[in-house]
Amino acid sequence: MRTLYLSIIFTVLGSLFIIGLGLDKLAEKVEQAQVSHQKNYTTDVYQQLINGLSKELNQFPVHRLPEKLHNFHQLYQFNVSLISRENIALPVSLHQKLEQESSLYLATDDAQYLLKTLASHPQLLLQLDIPDEPEIDSSFNFVLTVILYLSICCILIIWLFPLTRRLYLLNQTAAKIGAGQLDARIKPSTISYIKMFENSFNDMANKIEKLVADNKLLARGLSHDIRTPIACLRFGLEAAIDTPTIEKKNEYLNRMEHELTRMEDMTSAFLDFASMERQALHLKQSKVSVFELLSSVKNDCQPLAIKENITINLHVNHQENTKQILDYHWCYRALTNLLTNAISYANSTVEITLKKQAKQLIITIEDDGKGIDEDKLDIIFTPFVKLDTDIPREQGHFGLGLAICAKVMHWHKGSIYASRSDKLTGACFTLKFPSN
């Protein structure tokens, strides 16, 4: 938005400066041309007037000259006077010009006038005062003002066109998303004034698309997995009604209770996953010792490791500097999911490593199990995906553990990916947090 404000300010001020400067130059040239033309025309008129007056005065003696000048002033309202040559202090060059041309145009800051020699009276000079010219018509200035504002309007329209175009595209994209085309995005442009707004809009659209996709996936997974326990409940109920013995009824009721427990666990897991987007708005991030977090996860998973006869090794570099801003609860849950998975698939050993590298905090969890097939590495973080069909959903495995890990890393602006372990030949999960 700051770019938009600066763009408007520089556009208006720049256009005012450039257009105003151009119009000032134009007005100055026009005014100079008008003044020059008017001055030449006026000078010629007064030159002819003083020439005619001097011819007339040359016909009279000196004592009658004031009378004739008075009559001339009465008739034409011009200021004309006779001055002695001795009272005029002129440079030699102007004296020569006066003698050669018999008339001379002079101007000062306050006045302008013509001097004319009298052939019959060489000791006298005829002086004709030229009145000030009237002001130039102001209509031209009005036209220039109109041109100025029209030019500014045109420049603003040109400037606003990319903005209105981007807003139009933004509106069209929003309409497409509202109509169900969730993959619609506004394409970035180098001349956009609202790049930040467009990027935020695209981020919002990505989140909406992902949320809708997760909800659809959740609905499909839940509808698919809930059919089996419902069918079992119906079968058990019918069998319990039809059986004549109490022992058989109790057996069927115990099976139904087991199926209800399974449905409850499955529904709870699905609803927990569905509510994770809402949980992202309430993260409680604080500076946490990652070493202590990993130690807590290891200690809590140790009973399972002992039961499965698995050894857990924790390797930490720069232990005293492993502080990270994160949400302890969700990171604990994600790491617990990864570690319990590693214990479940490991043959004897699980390795946890913490290190700093290239301004990143890196955690790896790897095991010596059979690993993950290369073609499955990209889909294991998808909700409800189970690679090992030997582990039934009755044991609480619904294919959501790795999906939760991926969401937690996304909340922390980090990344998670799976690969084959170079050290233990099994699966290796790598979590990368931006160092802070």
Q: What is the mean pLDDT of residues 300-326?
A: 84
Residue where a domain terminates, one of 130, 160, 181 = 130
Q: Alpha helix locations (H) across 386-435?
A: 401-411
CATH number of the domain encompassing residue 309 = 3.30.565.10
Specify whether 334 is located in the same domain as 371.
yes
Q: Per-residue pLDDT for 338 more than 50?
A: yes
Q: Per-residue pLDDT for 348 more than 60?
A: yes
Q: How many whole angstroms separate alpha carbon 329 and alpha carbon 318?
A: 23
Q: Per-residue pLDDT for 247 more than 50?
A: yes
DSSP-derived secondary structure letter, 218 = H
Q: How many whole angstroms separate alpha carbon 132 and alpha carbon 65?
A: 26
Q: What is the mean pLDDT of residues 61-87?
A: 80
CATH number of the domain encompassing residue 81 = 3.30.450
Range of the domain at 220: 197-277
Specify whether 104 is located in the same domain as 23.
yes
Residue 56 lies in a domain: yes
Q: Per-residue pLDDT for 99 more than 80?
A: no
Specify whether 250 is located in the same domain as 304.
no
Q: Per-residue pLDDT for 361 more than 50?
A: yes
Residue 168 lies in a domain: no
pLDDT digits (tens, 9 = 90+) for 157-170: 787 788 888 888 99
Specify whether 221 is located in the same domain as 351.
no
Q: Per-residue pLDDT for 330 more than 50?
A: yes
Helices 195-242 and 139-178 sit at what angle, rounded to 10 degrees? 20
Q: Per-residue pLDDT for 394 more than 70?
A: no
343 close to 305: Cβ distance less than 8 angstroms: yes
Q: Per-residue pLDDT for 431 more than 90?
A: yes
CATH number of the domain encompassing residue 246 = 1.10.287
The DSSP H or E segment spanning 127 is strand 124-130
Phi-psi region of 359 (alpha: psi -120 to 50; beta: other; left: phi over 0): left
46 close to 118: Cβ distance less than 8 angstroms: no
Q: What is the mean pLDDT of residues 259-285?
A: 75
Q: How many whole angstroms separate alpha carbon 404 and alpha carbon 280?
A: 12
Average pLDDT, the chain: 80
Residue 166 lies in a domain: no
193 close to 163: Cβ distance less than 8 angstroms: yes
Specify whether 265 is located in the same domain as 207.
yes
Strand-pair partners of 363: 354, 431
Specify whether 19 is located in the same domain as 106.
yes
3-state SS class at 281: helix
Residue 169 lies in a domain: no
Percent of the chain exceeding pLDDT 90 equals: 16
Specify whether 14 is located in the same domain as 126.
yes
Percent of the chain exceeding pLDDT 70 equals: 85
Number of domains in the chain: 3
Q: What is the pTM of this model?
A: 0.54
Q: What is the mean pLDDT of residues 16-27?
A: 73
pLDDT digits (tens, 9 = 90+) for 23-45: 777 767 766 665 554 455 567 77
